[in-house]
Amino acid sequence: MVRSLGVAVVGFGWMGRVHTQAYQRIAHHFPQVAVRPELVMVAEEVPGRAQEAAEQFGFASTTRDWREVAADPRVRAVSITAPNFLHREIGVAMAEAGKHIWIEKPVGLTAEDAGAVADAVAKNGLQATVGFNYRNAPAVAYARELIASGEIGTVTHVRIRLFSDYAAHPEGALTWRYERDRGGSGVLGDLASHGVDLARFLLGNITSLTADTAVFIPERARPTGATAGHARATGGELGPVENEDYVNCLLRFASGARGVLEACRVSVGEQNNYGFEVHGTKGAVLWDFRRMGELGVSRGTTYQDQPVSTVYVGPGHGEYAAFQPGAASSMGYDDLKVIEAHAFLRSVAEGVPYGATLADAVHSALALDAMSRSAERGTWVDLP
């Protein structure tokens, strides 16, 4: 029997919209899930934005104060899509109010923040899912299967890249994303957090790392009004960019494998160039987010001059069958968030965690903190 689950969304920028749309699509793609989300409340402090969300998506009520969400008994689960610096306060408050949470990465500004949310959720016997959406791509799920089965032999090394141009324009507004107190570690939390999660999802735990970081656009203009996404600002007072535009990192894994992780938010000419190349003693798997439904696979026994074949994912790879009946039909970014929403709702319904968890968020945050320390000290840093 399907039962209703009252949900709320806190923070209605682009990601709040993505979460809301994912909830609405659950019945179409995962009709078997035992709970059906009901849009009870949306919280957004920007005047008028919550009302617009309610009119478009059908939320029963609106508020500018997220604390009203915590106090509302109709709300059983909450999407936390507010800016990073609010994740800890809101996450802990929602858990203490008995709400399950679907929270965006990096779950606060530090590993301490992520750990506080994880502790509150565990203490109150709740479920939580974290927005590491790239692991949900069916090709990534298939790559993990091939690696775990030994199809490419023993993994020797991996390269993970996350290059984007969303902050490349020098007129990009000086929003919270560029402030240390509100945006945390810049591209580390925004993109490298995904890279760490992919690394662990594919290869297991990271034991140590060394990193270098840089700020390439040191000043930006302050916006004069409310912003969403990556708006531009001209003529405003200039302020300093306090956190990182770029990071590169060498990784060592518990398995003995080595890795390189590189992320940049100001890469002119690169639009969402995210992906990985995993090499083993007998082969390799290669993935590019921009060709999300394809996986490059090299396997066999020839070693030298061994070709790479393109596998078009289809039913049987990850959650592909919930969207398309045959291989090579395209999926998109929003589909990955529907898969994530399903993992969250299934966790709530069954009382067992599915998908990326707060433990994954804590591990990612520990690696990000280690990157910051390594860049400051110029040394290798061990991870707990």
pLDDT band at residue 229 under the 50/70/90 scheme:
low
Tell me the pLDDT band of 325, cut-offs 50, 70 and 90.
very high
pLDDT for 236 beyond 90: no
Categorize the per-residue pLDDT at 176 as very low, low, confident or very high, splitting at 50, 70 and 90: confident
Tokens of 349: 């319904």
Average pLDDT over residues 349-355: 97
Q: 243 falls in which pLDDT band (50, 70, 90)?
A: very high
- What's the distance, CA 175 to chain centroid? 20
The long-range contacts involving 304-313, CB below 8 angstroms and separated by at least 24 positions, are 308/284, 311/139, 311/142, 313/138, 313/139, 313/142
Q: Report the predicted TM-score, pTM, of the whole model to 2 decimal places.
A: 0.95
Which pLDDT tens digit goes with each residue over 86-133? 999 999 999 999 999 999 999 999 999 999 999 999 999 999 999 999
Q: Alpha-carbon distance 378 to 372, whole Å?
A: 10
| DSSP SS3 for 374 | helix
